[in-house]
């Protein structure tokens, strides 16, 4: 190794976990010349994934919350490689990046390789439709800001079409079916109910909100929010029923069609728009990543240290990782708080690694779960360490706690002052804009 060779730390994936990690390492190591820190990311901007349901419902303008990777790299002392990981060569310790193209098919960047000494894979997860017939063709997933914006445009166009058409509104024309009643599906259902009423209030007098619009939430389990405590599920269901959301539990989807959803029971639910929010799996590239071990959901299997099982120089964090959890049969859950904790933990461990110190295992702390139902409120449970149990919360406290999760993410990326200024600026601009995005 030459005298001028600095340790090369490469993070693949700029989601919540990857971006927080590379930002911290850039400040701690890249700025001081202690390591060469790089990020490989196929998108140009970052949007916190738990916000996607608000973008899809038109309750949030993504441009106000997106972070530009190129600018962040400049400010926080790391390199940004625009492109998608398509392969890995562990022998030569290089990551292969595919060519990138613009919307018109013109090439932006050539295929290339990026060398590493330490590699961290944090490419998140993708929708798992379990091979359901028609799901890939007719259901919209909510994995990216582009997909959320696409859904919002289709929703708004549907309202405008109904307003301007000559004939009566057809059955199912303004129906939205959401498959999967986890946090994303449940939050989207509540937001869509409120969005539809607010859009109509802007002069769409040909649409009857109570008669023409219908939000259907479909869940295969016996209750909504099956991964959360039953009390949270029951309280959330009560609010959804109050809103008028049509909730179907113990309902397995057999197929998705262009005009709606077929259930295994034989019932057909007409819907103009179908959202798939029923499950996640690891991206396809992980299944053949030079022999790294994956589980049945195509997530990279790691040791408690977050190192992959077959290569100690390669780590995995966030939704693409299956990290063992002591005392549990299932790995650390793919949640925002887990991504934040893993990024913070690994930032400390990689500093130890550069000093030749042994790595400490990652221990996940479950601080509870929160579900936001828009203007109706929020519901959740917090882990009460003193009582060694769950503390049920709702109303303003739950809403404040929910918003604080995003502020923690912003603070990790921007610092306290910039986060406070951005929050103030967005708060002021909301008073001059429509409550819902109309374009």
> For residue range 358-393, what is the model confidence (pLDDT) as tens digits?
999 999 998 888 888 877 778 888 765 444 566 777
- Which phi and psi (to 5°) does residue 330 adopt? -95, 155
Residue 226 lies inside a defined structural domain of this protein: yes
- Contact between 36 and 9 under an 8 Å Cβ cutoff? The reply is yes
Per-residue pLDDT at 432 exceeds 70: no
Residues 141 and 269 in one domain: yes
Verify that 177 and 263 share a domain, yes or no. yes
147 & 229 share domain: yes
Mean pLDDT calculated for residue range 299-322: 97
pLDDT band of 435, cuts 50, 70, 90: low
Residue 208 lies in a domain: yes
Query: Is 210 found in the same domain as 141?
Result: yes
Please, which pLDDT band fits residue 343 given cuts at 50, 70 and 90? very high
Q: Using CA atoms, how far apart are residues 114 and 424, in angstroms rounded to an integer?
A: 39
Co-location of 139 and 271 in the same domain: yes
Q: How confident is the model at residue 1 (pLDDT cuts 50, 70, 90)?
A: very low
For residues 151 and 273, the answer to whether their CB atoms sit within 8 Å is: yes
Residue 150 and residue 210 in one domain: yes
Residues 223 and 310 in one domain: no
- Structural domain contains residue 41: yes
Domain that holds residue 315: 8-125+282-354
Query: Would you say residue 315 has pLDDT above 70?
Result: yes
- What was the pLDDT predicted at 124? 94
pLDDT tier for residue 3 given thresholds of 50, 70 and 90: very low
- Tell me, what's the pLDDT at 438? 64
Mean pLDDT within 28-40: 96
Rounded Cα–Cα distance for residues 206 and 166 (Å) = 10
Distance CA 256, CA 247 (A): 18
In a domain, 162, yes or no: yes
pLDDT tens-digit map of 141-199:
999 999 999 999 999 999 899 888 888 888 889 999 999 999 999 999 999 988 888 88
Q: Within this chain, do residues 293 and 309 fall inside the same structural domain, yes or no?
A: yes
- Write the CATH number for 162: 3.50.50.60
Residue 386 tokens, joined: 């003193």
Per-residue confidence band for 255, with pLDDT thresholds at 50, 70 and 90: very high
Determine, yes or no, domain membership for 360. Answer: no
Contact by Cβ (8 Å): 93, 8: no
Same domain, 17 and 97: yes
Q: Mean pLDDT across the stretch 220-232?
A: 91
Place of tokens 């993708």: 126
Query: How high does pLDDT run on average in the chain?
Result: 90
Does the pLDDT of residue 2 top 50, yes or no?
A: no
Q: Kindly state whether residues 200 and 291 are assigned to the same domain.
A: no
Buried b (16+ CB within 10 A) or exposed e, 289-326: beebebeebbbbbbbebbbbeebeebbbbbbbbbbbbe
Output the pLDDT for position 97.
97
Helix (H, G, I), strand (E, B) or coil at 105: coil
Q: Are residues 223 and 295 in the same domain?
A: no
Structural domain includes residue 436? no
How confident is the model at residue 274, as a pLDDT?
96
Cross-strand bridge partners of residue 257:
260
In the block, residue with structure tokens 């603070």: 411
**Are 271 and 158 within 8 A, CB to CB?**
no
Tokens of 224: 């909504």
Question: Could you tell me if residue 438 is inside a domain?
Answer: no
Rounded to an integer, the average pLDDT of 341-360 is 96
Residue 174 lies in a domain: yes
Nearest Cα residue to 409 out of 142, 51, 34, 6: 51
What is the sign, positive or negative, of the torsion defined by CA atoms of 276, 171, 210, 222? negative
The answer on 150 and 205 residing in a single domain is yes
Number of domains in the chain: 3
Beta strands 368-372 and 378-384 are: antiparallel
């Amino acid at each position: 190794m030459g005298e001028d060779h600095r340790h090369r730390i490469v993070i693949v994936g700029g989601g919540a976990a990857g971006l927080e990690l590379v930002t911290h390492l850039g400040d701690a190591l890249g700025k001081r010349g202690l390591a060469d820190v790089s990020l490989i990311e196929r998108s140009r901007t970052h949007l916190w994934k738990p916000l996607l349901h608000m973008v899809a419902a038109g309750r949030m303008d993504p441009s106000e919350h997106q972070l530009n990777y190129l600018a962040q790299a400049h400010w926080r002392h790391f390199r940004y490689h625009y492109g998608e990981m398509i392969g890995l060569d562990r022998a030569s310790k290089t990551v292969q990046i595919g060519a990138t193209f613009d919307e018109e098919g013109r090439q932006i960047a050539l295929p290339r390789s990026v060398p590493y000494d330490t590699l961290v894979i944090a490419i998140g997860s993708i929708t798992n439709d379990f091979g359901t017939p028609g799901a890939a063709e007719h259901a919209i997933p909510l994995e990216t800001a582009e997909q959320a914006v696409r859904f919002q445009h289709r929703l708004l166009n549907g309202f405008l079409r109904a307003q301007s058409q000559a004939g009566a509104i057809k059955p199912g024309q303004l129906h939205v079916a959401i498959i999967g009643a986890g946090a994303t599906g449940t939050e989207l259902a509540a937001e869509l109910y409120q969005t539809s009423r607010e859009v109509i209030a802007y002069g769409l007098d040909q649409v009857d909100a109570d008669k023409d619009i219908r939000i259907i939430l479909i869940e295969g389990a016996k209750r909504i929010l099956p991964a959360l405590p039953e009390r949270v599920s029951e309280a959330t269901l009560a609010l959804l029923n109050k809103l008028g959301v049509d909730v179907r539990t113990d309902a397995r989807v057999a197929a998705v069609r262009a005009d709606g959803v077929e259930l295994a029971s034989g019932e057909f639910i007409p819907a103009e728009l179908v959202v798939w929010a029923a499950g996640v799996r690891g991206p396809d590239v992980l299944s053949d990543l030079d022999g790294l071990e994956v589980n049945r959901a195509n997530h990279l299997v790691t040791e408690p240290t977050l190192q992959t099982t077959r290569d100690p120089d390669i780590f995995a964090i966030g939704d693409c990782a299956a990290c063992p959890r002591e005392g549990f049969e299932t790995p650390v859950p793919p949640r925002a708080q887990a991504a934040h904790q893993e990024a913070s933990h690994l930032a400390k461990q990689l500093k130890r690694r550069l000093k030749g110190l042994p790595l400490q295992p990652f221990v996940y702390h479950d601080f509870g779960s929160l579900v936001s139902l828009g203007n109706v409120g929020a519901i959740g449970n917090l882990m009460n360490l003193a009582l060694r149990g769950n503390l049920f919360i709702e109303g303003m406290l739950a809403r404040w706690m929910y918003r604080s999760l995003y502020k923690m993410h912003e603070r990790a990326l921007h610092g306290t002052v910039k986060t406070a200024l951005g929050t103030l600026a967005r708060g002021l601009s909301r008073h001059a804009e429509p409550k819902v995005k109309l374009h």
